[in-house]
Amino acid sequence: MKLVVIGAQWGDEGKGKIVDFLARDADTVVRFSGGANAGHTIVHGRNTYKLHLVPSGIVYEDKRVILGTGMVIDPEALEKELEELSTAGVVWAGRVLISDRAHLVLPRYKRMDKDLDTKRAQPIGTTGRGIGVTYSMKSARDGVRVIDAFDDALLAALSQEDRDFLLEHREFFREMMVDVNSYMTDHGDENVLLEGAQGTLLDLDLGTYPFVSSGSSSANGAAVGAGFGPRELDRVVGVCKAYSTRVGNGPFPTEFESERDGDLEHVIRELGHEYGVTTGRPRRCGYLDLVALRYACRSNSIDTLALTHLDIYDSFEEIQVCVGYKVDGRVTELFPASRTAAANAEPVLKALPGWKASSAQARAFSELPTGAQDYVRYIEEYTGVSVEIISVGSDREHTIVERDPWTPS
Ligand code: IMP
């Protein structure tokens, strides 16, 4: 079976935990998009792992992980991350594969990335990991793929700096290189988990352009990024938080505003530890945006939602969710394509009762406080998609699984 897990908001939805949870039943985990801009936190017992490039399945000794074709890989960052995993006691040799068609991030791309962003009239707030420049080089047909690093004629045509960099690093990943399509043909019967990075609203095509990342972070990028044909994908799991966050610039209609919402931004940021894993930047926080979530459900063919951070709302008297936007005096339930409309959209908020009780002990939906159950039901009603996994804490055991996504439909 082939299961896709993607972010249904602006990234940082808690995909790391959900992927880690689902990886238990996978043979191979493939990351299909993005690069070292991502940050996935995984808590395994007393160990916490922070991953940027390596798919989350790495912490299981019996899983193979693949950095897929849709990724952009910084060889230095990969070496560093794998060294850190070794230090943490994770044995990864022979289990990490890299698509020979994935593109490489060169040092000058990182410099260009930061430089370009500072020169933009409205900076995007890039993580500065060279992601946008590498995808631009790829589209311009000037990029360097993993396989190209072993093509000496091609290397000879590169600048001294690029050539030296590739010659310095290529031996590290030579043995990891794989043709993902033929790998998948050979392992056709296995359970493959396709791990997305970032989130739908940061997807180059579906997101809040131009305030997006440059990869295909929606489910639509999963097939090509992981070396499958589109009919191979069995189910799509969308991960969303009980509220919303965003790192970097760009429209965020439900962002907390101190005049309207008091110190909610600060409260949620501290309760939810909302600081970027990659850059440490404080995340912008806001109400759950059901308009955006339904847009994500529809544009990704999401079969089931995994709702995370529900426990963050445990102490609240009342919780607001966004059920529409006011744009130019008119109410809409559609997610706007126009950057100006998205920037000016005012949320239409609906108050739902809080539950003022701990949800952390619940291991089944029926064990959640009634108000929390109602909150989840409201999300399902609005989006038309059932919430089948609920996370009520950072540990593995803080997870309610109403239906296991690996179960065939
Ligand atoms: P870039 O991908 O580094 O160019 O960043 C583009 C935008 O996407 C910036 O607003 C980043 O903050 C945001 N972004 C990139 N990766 C992530 C992520 O993994 N989580 C959340 N935001 C991200």
**Residue 227: per-residue pLDDT:** 86
**Residue 71: per-residue pLDDT:** 97
What 3-state class would DSSP assign to 359? coil
Residues of the chain with confidence (pLDDT) below 70: none
CATH number of the domain located at residue range(s) 240-401 in this protein: 3.90.170.10
Is residue 226 a contact partner of residue 190, using CB atoms and an 8 Å limit? no
CA of 247 to the centre of ligand 1 (A): 7
Q: Is the CATH number of domain 2-105+145-237 3.40.440.10?
A: yes
- The DSSP secondary-structure symbol of 356 reads -
CB-based burial label for 82 (10 Å; 0-12, 13-18, 19+)? buried
Q: How far apart are CA 221 and CA 195, in angstroms?
A: 11
The domain spans of the chain are 2-105+145-237, 240-401
The amino acid occupying position 359 is: S
Tokens found for residue 138? 């790829």
The neighbouring-strand residues paired with 5 are 195, 237
Q: Strand (E) positions, 33-120?
A: 40-44, 47-51, 64-67, 72-73, 96-99, 103-104
**Residue 134: per-residue pLDDT:** 98
**Residue 156: per-residue pLDDT:** 97
Measured by CA distance, the residue closest to atom 20 of ligand 1 is 11
Looking at the CA of residue 126, tell me the nearest atom of ligand 1. Answer: 5
Q: How far apart are CA 252 and CA 284, in angstroms?
A: 9
**Residue 296: per-residue pLDDT:** 98
Give exposure, 176-207, as e/b (b: 16+ Cβ within 10 Å): bbbbbbebbeeeeeebbbbbbbbbbbbbbebb
Contacts (Cβ under 8 Å, ≥6 apart) of 77: 35, 36, 52, 53, 105, 129
Among 2, 405, 324, which residue's Cα sits nearest to residue 192? 2
Q: What angle do CA 145, 117, 141 make, to 5 degrees?
A: 25
pLDDT, tens only, 160-183: 999 999 999 999 999 999 999 999
Residues with CB under 6 A from ligand 1: 11-12, 37-39, 124-127, 129, 131-132, 197-198, 202, 213, 247-248
Cα distance from N-terminal residue to C-terminal residue, the chain: 11
The amino acid occupying position 260 is: R
Q: Give the residue carrying structure tokens 């006691």.
A: 89
CA of 94 to the centre of ligand 1 (A): 30
**Residue 280: per-residue pLDDT:** 87
Same fold flag, 2-105+145-237 and 240-401:
no
Measured by CA distance, the residue closest to atom 10 of ligand 1 is 248
Chain centroid to Cα 5, Å, comes to 9
CA of 212 to the centre of ligand 1 (A): 7
Tokens found for residue 49? 């792992």
- The DSSP secondary-structure symbol of 345 reads P
* Cis preceding linkage at 408, omega within 30: no
- Provide φ and ψ at 160, rounded to 5°: -55, -45
Tell me the C-alpha to C-alpha distance, in Å, between residue 352 and each of 9, 39, 54, 169: 21, 32, 39, 54
